[in-house]
Amino acid sequence: MAPVRKFKELETRVGYHFKSRDLLKKALTHASVRQASSKRRDNERLEFLGDRVLGLVIAELLCEIYPSANEGDLAKLYNRLVRGGTCAAIARELNLGPFLVLSEAEAESGGREKETILADACEALLGAIFLEAGYETAQQIVRTLWSSRVGASSPADAADAKSLLQEWAQGQGLDLPAYVEIDRQGPDHAPRFTAEVRINGRKPARGEGASKRAAEQAAATALLAREGMWKRSADA
């Protein structure tokens, strides 16, 4: 387990210093760690709680920032902000990986970088903070850690194809989409990119655009359209 000094560095990044180190350790302990006693010591229950805390804070924040947005747009923004990929990205910004308590086998298989493990640990931390310090403290921490992402989102871009494709893939139990640049043509001042999106178990799709991001968006749109999801998602 990490020394106290290292824990203080993590707590500083999170924005909260725990009174109970046992609670912090539990929030960082993956279910792969088997315990001799029957008492659960992993972070699954804290993750369950933290997921609900995060959802409430984000829903409250979006209603506050966008008082005129309709329910459909708010739902799209909400899903983007609370999904596993976003929680895992927050966990990486906090450098949670080295602090995770994993079984030897899970650690050797790259568990400290796995999206789901990082996302769950991030939510478990929020659950632990809620239990120890209450909703207002957890609320402030979520608002701080998610501030740049909330500020970068708006109802106008809620129907982002890459985000929708990721949400769809997660909902289907598929791997996350991977994007590959296939081609780049034209002069530097007016390039034309071709990108391909790949998901295991699905036929790849391609798209073109004046930037890598535009080409990736086009590829995501093509795959969503082929699966019959784009029009329904964009109009929801």
* Contact criterion met (CB below 8 Å) for 9 and 90: no
Of 42, 47, 51, 216, which one is the catalytic site residue? Answer: 51
**Where is 141: in which H helix or E strand?**
helix 135-145
Closest CA to 228 of 210, 207, 202: 202
Of 47, 106, 120, 123, which one is the catalytic site residue? Answer: 123
Match 């178990």 to its residue by tokens: 201
Is 183 a residue of the active site? no
User: Which amino acid is present at 58?
Assistant: I
Provide the β-strand partners of residue 179: 197
Question: Cα–Cα distance between 55 and 24 in angstroms, integer?
Answer: 21
Question: Which SS3 state, helix, strand or coil, does residue 140 take?
Answer: helix
Q: How many residues can be counted in the chain?
A: 236
From residue 10, how far is each of 116, 135, 219 by CA, in Å? 20, 21, 38
Is 22 a residue of the active site? no
All residues at 6 or more sequence positions from 184 whose CB lies less than 8 Å from its CB, including other chains? 191, 192, 193, 194
Match 């707590």 to its residue by tokens: 11
Q: What is the DSSP letter of 174?
A: P
Catalytic site residues? 51, 123
